[in-house]
Structure formats: structure tokens, C-alpha cells
């Protein structure tokens, strides 16, 4: 079974539904209706968001809310449902920003204001998986600074979560914090993988650069491994920089760890977004690293598009066929296969992820 382990689902202002919800995500907060997904006002004004709207064919006058979310839903559907080698996709929740005291500030309005640029609730993603069990897997997200975070992780796992998604540099997650360590030990006990972003980021604000280096994660995993409590850990994008000229120390340190100290440990990386414009050089190099492929997992990072013009030479006669594939998720899989990534890259997730059959029975 081929699984896309890294697929996003975010709306600009989606009201919380009243169906079955997780106990830590009430449908009403502060005396009013809660949101199940949002993009912050700050993020909606960023040039990258405006460029994405144009690239996706959205009305540029729509600044967020029900009308734009209707466009998003229609845009997502053919990519999620497209036919091809990818059989299941992990839809990712994205928990709210929490400060050091566990408080959740309002979505940020201006640059420099701390808060989450996006939020997608576990309840929203769980409901989508329940309605499309033949296609979706539940990628949960629980911030370790939440009150009773361990209990929250146990709750999402009991209801089908196949991994936990974190972006420490944006969400404010110190992997060495005692609260984070408790969650990591819980995930190890449950067999629930962590999918964590380290290295550079460009879509969301880097609000906590101290949590960008992958070496901080490796130090903690080293400690947990000696305790026999290291969870399955997947580092997003192989910790590659945003551009060929970006900071490469995290990428290099991760490659060394995958092939060296953690070669026999449950440390992996996904290859999501390596077909994007700034990462094609890393894509080509990693495609040649057959000795590394047993430690890599397929991911698309949808809705990040592939840089097909830059890949014309690599894809050769297959370029036109791949370009014609309507689903960007299936297109990404075709690109990686055409570039000779070992088949284990596509099938590894099915061996690692729990709860793969939870919704489909």
C-alpha cells in the first residue's frame, strides 16, 4: 500500500461542527462558536498567500471566509480523490500555537505578533476520515504544552490517529521541555509516530528560530533511546532548506544520523515538497542516494505544487504524461518513481503507521 504521509487540509475560517468531537476541542469557546480551521489575518496578507491564490485560480478579491473556503474545498477534492498509485493519504491536523504557559493567543494580525498562522482541528480531520475511510488517514496534532497533553494524545490515538504532526519553530515547541518529553514517551509506548518539521520554513512564520536545528531533536532522541522510550520519528522534507542557498546544517546532520548513529533506530525522513522550486537540487541528490532510501517515506506536501518546468530534463519522455495527471498528489508519486526512488520509499509508511485500518475496518 502506498501512503502519502504529508498532506495538508486548511481553511481560512471554518466554523466548528457539532458532530462527534474530541474532548479538548469544544464546539464553543469563550461564550461563542469555535473555529475548526483558520488562516491568520497576518498570513492572508503575505505575498506567498496571494501568489498561491493566483496559482490555484482563486478569485484574488476573496480575502478569507466561507466563499474562499468553498473554492478551497472544490480545489482540494480532485487532488485528494485522484486515481493513481497513491492509495491513502494522511490528512494533517495542525494544533494551535501555545505560549510557554500553555495559553493560546488569538490569530496574529501583524508581523512580530506571536500566534498561529494556521489551525486545523483534530475534530475536523477525524470527521473527514470517518466520511472517506477508503482514502483518508488521520494525522493528528496535539501541542505538548496543552493541559493534559498526554491524555489528549491517548484520546486521538484511541480514535484512529496514525501520527502526530508538529512544527516546533512555528508552534513554539521545545523538544527538550519536560512536557514534550512526556508526550514523546507516550508516543513511544503507543507506537504512534511523530512527524516533525526541522530546518528552514517559508510558508509559516519562523517565530522560534531556536527550535529550527534538527540537532536539538537528535539530542533528545539520543536520550530517549537510552531509556528505551524513543518514538518512531519522521523528519519532514529531510530537513532541507527552502532554497539551494539556504542553511544546510540540519539537512547534513540528519543524513549523518540516518546513516550512522540512528541507522538501526526508528528515525526516518519524508521526501515531501522536494519537487518544489527551491528543493529540486536536493531531490536529484537524494534520488541517487540508494543507501538512504530505506530511511525515507513518500509525502507530497499537498497543496505545494511541483516545479515541472525545472524537472523537464529529469522526466524526459514522461514529462508530458506526468504533467497531464490532474492530481498533484499522484503527480508527485509519479515524479519520484520516474527519478528512481526505491520502491521501499513508497511502501515504508504502511509498515510504520498504526491505525491504518481503523476507519475502513
Question: Helix 66-81 crosses helix 328-338 at what angle (to 10 degrees)?
Answer: 40
Q: pLDDT band at residue 81, thresholds of 50, 70 and 90?
A: very high
pLDDT on residue 30: 75
DSSP 183-205: HHHHHHHHT--EEE--S--SSS-
Contact 16, 34 (CB under 8 A): yes
Mean per-residue pLDDT for 333-353?
98
pTM of the predicted model as reported, rounded to 2 decimal places: 0.96
- Lookup result for grid cell 461564550: 31
pLDDT on residue 331: 97
Three-state DSSP class for residue 141: coil
The three cell numbers locating residue 213: 536545528
35, 92, 88: which is closest to 303 by C-alpha? 92
Pairing of strands 35-39, 13-15: antiparallel
Rounded to whole angstroms, the Cα distance separating 81 from 58 reads 20
37, 48, 50: which is closest to 11 by C-alpha? 37
Rounded to whole angstroms, the Cα distance separating 270 from 273 reads 9
The three cell numbers locating residue 66: 466561507
The three cell numbers locating residue 204: 509559516
Q: pLDDT tens digits, residue range 102-120?
A: 999 999 999 889 999 999 9
130, 132, 155: which is closest to 140 by C-alpha? 155
Give the Cα-Cα-Cα angle 162, 334, 48 (nearest 5 degrees): 75
ω before 53 within 30° of 0 (cis)? no
pLDDT on residue 112: 87
Mean per-residue pLDDT for 9-15?
94
Containing 162, the helix (H) or strand (E) segment is: strand 161-166
Give the percent of the chain with pLDDT over 70: 99
pLDDT on residue 60: 66
- Burial of residue 58, with CB atoms counted within 10 A of its CB: 0-12 exposed, 13-18 middle, 19 or more buried: middle
Contact 254, 212 (CB under 8 A): no
Domains and CATH numbers, the chain: 3-352 (3.20.20.140)
Please name the residues in contact with 213: beta carbons below 8 A apart, sequence gap of 6 or more. Answer: 198, 199, 249, 250, 253
Q: pLDDT tens digits, residue range 200-239?
A: 998 899 999 999 999 999 999 999 999 999 999 999 999 9
Q: Please name the residue ranges forming H helices in the chain.
A: 41-44, 47-56, 66-81, 122-131, 149-158, 168-171, 178-190, 214-227, 249-259, 280-288, 312-315, 319-323, 328-338, 343-352
The three cell numbers locating residue 257: 544520523
Q: Which residues lie across from 296 on neighbouring strands?
A: 269
Amino acid at each position: 500500500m502506498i501512503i502519502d504521509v504529508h498532506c495538508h487540509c486548511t481553511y481560512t475560517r471554518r466554523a466548528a461542527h457539532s458532530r462527534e468531537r474530541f474532548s479538548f476541542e469544544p464546539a464553543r469557546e469563550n461564550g461563542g462558536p469555535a473555529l475548526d480551521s483558520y488562516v491568520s489575518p497576518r498570513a492572508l496578507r503575505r505575498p506567498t498567500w496571494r501568489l498561491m491564490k493566483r496559482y490555484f485560480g482563486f478569485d484574488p478579491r476573496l480575502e478569507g471566509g466561507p466563499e474562499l473556503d468553498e473554492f478551497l474545498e472544490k480545489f482540494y477534492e480532485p487532488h485528494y480523490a485522484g486515481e493513481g498509485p497513491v492509495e491513502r493519504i494522511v490528512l494533517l491536523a495542525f494544533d494551535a500555537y501555545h505560549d510557554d504557559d500553555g495559553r493560546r493567543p488569538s490569530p496574529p494580525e501583524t508581523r512580530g505578533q506571536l500566534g498561529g498562522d494556521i489551525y486545523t482541528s483534530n475534530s475536523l480531520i477525524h470527521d473527514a476520515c470517518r466520511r472517506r475511510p477508503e482514502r483518508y488517514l488521520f494525522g493528528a496534532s496535539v501541542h505538548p504544552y496543552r493541559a493534559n497533553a498526554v491524555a489528549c494524545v491517548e484520546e486521538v490515538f484511541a480514535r484512529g490517529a496514525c501520527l502526530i504532526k508538529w512544527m516546533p519553530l512555528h508552534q513554539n515547541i521545545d523538544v527538550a521541555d519536560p512536557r514534550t518529553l512526556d508526550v514523546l514517551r507516550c508516543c513511544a509506548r503507543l507506537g504512534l509516530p511523530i512527524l516533525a518539521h526541522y530546518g528552514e520554513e517559508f510558508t509559516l512564520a519562523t517565530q522560534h528560530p531556536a527550535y529550527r536545528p534538527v540537532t536539538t531533536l537528535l539530542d533528545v532522541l539520543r536520550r530517549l533511546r537510552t531509556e528505551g522510550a524513543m518514538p518512531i520519528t519522521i523528519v519532514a522534507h529531510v530537513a532541507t532548506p527552502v532554497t539551494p542557498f539556504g542553511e544546510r546544517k540540519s539537512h547534513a546532520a540528519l543524513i549523518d544520523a540516518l546513516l550512522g548513529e540512528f541507522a538501526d533506530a526508528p528515525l526516518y525522513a519524508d521526501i515531501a515538497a522536494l519537487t518544489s522550486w527551491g528543493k529540486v537540487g536536493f531531490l536529484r541528490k537524494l534520488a541517487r542516494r540508494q543507501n538512504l532510501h530505506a530511511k525515507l517515506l513518500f509525502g507530497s506536501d499537498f497543496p505545494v505544487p511541483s516545479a515541472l518546468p525545472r524537472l523537464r530534463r529529469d522526466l524526459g519522455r514522461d514529462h508530458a504524461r506526468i504533467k497531464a495527471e490532474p492530481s498533484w498528489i499522484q503527480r508527485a508519486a509519479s515524479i519520484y518513481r520516474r527519478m528512481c526512488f526505491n520502491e521501499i520509499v513508497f511502501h515504508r509508511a504502511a509498515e510504520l503507521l498504526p491505525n491504518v485500518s481503523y476507519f475502513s475496518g
